[in-house]
Structure 1
């Protein structure tokens, strides 16, 4: 672990000003090595304890598990952070944007629904999200200043709705009757999933963000000079999004700005290979993470991730511990490290 990060974390730990994950990391280093139980009271005693623990650290090569200790022994625990592995590198901070909420709000009374010819048009001129339930059991969260045109009853081979604005869809699974969302720029085809479509009139771009399942996105035919028959489109998977610009006529997948946890599994690691930590995060979020396996072959780490932490918060903590870095590249994450050594 880098000494600069150790000094910063030590200071915050001793002042109870670190996250649960960072505190767990400090305590876990202490527990794994079963160090003595100093309880310094004065600055002089603290300095002496710190020096003594450093000497003990240098004499130890193999950790062994022990029971949890109380917070009064934090000086010894924090000093053990010096056994961390890794070399230099900076942590890259990804941008943060949110996917549409999964919990419906109460529909405001001013939402307007107009019926004509077996079709309904719901307009939401308010500043609140409006929940709708379609005939097939699918649900929609219609965002402010948006409009959805849909049939009172889905009778055909396909379920088709038309959107102006933004909405979050949770589609009832029915493989024999695909669900299609049409906008002026793109169409989105699904069998059973949850996703957001954003396509406001007058805005140059349209976007689709997938929470669960898979969707196929392609440009609308006969719009903006496109051919009558569009191509096969692009398949999006969980935690992916695509932004389509008619000017560029390009569909490129990328990560959504706040990936959702897809699989719940233990996210605490005690002297585990870094490659195992990355593989667990990749499985938990369905996000490909690329790294150099040979470089990380000797890297181990003790970490505890808090469920409320985002994927990028978890990666930030891992990078700070190792002195590594990462970056987003389309729909993948590239993790970089110069290797590990005991400092």
Structure 2
């Protein structure tokens, strides 16, 4: 191809580069196909190109050189279009390609090795412990808002009498109307713990256990024996202490804090003023706060500003507490 050989005209080179630029931002998902599948697709498109090139050109004597140059330019255009079409087909029609267009964040139903804060369809919030999974529908449309937890999570549930919130953990079902609480239910664990920070929940196993908990109460449910023990605890101080991991900062630069926030809340953090990255701060969060609360706190500490649009957060200001 003349573009690859460096013999293309300015017009031809501009055309080719314009098409390639359209796909620079696309995720490289062609590896979802096997080598044989990719080879078959490329072979099929190459055959189509050859068929077009092999078509007899109209007979023409005068201006033959100019005509051939136009035909060579047309063949180059066809090749680029076919290559671009092949790339688009590989990326956009693959299952992974379709999924990437919809799911920007790691799926809560898939375990990851770090703690993450997620927002549920009704606006309720959950903090998932590392290696935990939470399954829920895109929209809570039934009589109840039902989720399934495997592992450990802290919940802060939006109040709704008409549509109670239900968490399934093995044999246990925890029902709430609007409260904050922690559930620990790891696979293979002999017991399940439910600790209430505020509000009221009902825990039941569908057989003989049905217990209501209020603030600073915790039950330990023995799975094999189907028995429970009720305890008084300082739930805010102990139940979800794990959620603080990576959210306590001592003389840390804002760049490192931003990286922790980005990972925990699945947002992209950038800086209009690069000097802000080196501003050090001391801050301690419970790890259960909403993202907006964390951003407001950081802004107040450093006397800076931030803007948020979707999952994009931008910090701006003079830097390090300056006016």
Q: Compute the TM-score of the two structures, normalised by the length of structure 2.
A: 0.39
Higher RCO by CA contacts (8 Å cutoff, separation 6 or greater) = 1
- Based on CA coordinates, which of the two structures has the bigger radius of gyration? 2
Q: Compute the TM-score of the two structures, normalised by the length of structure 1.
A: 0.37
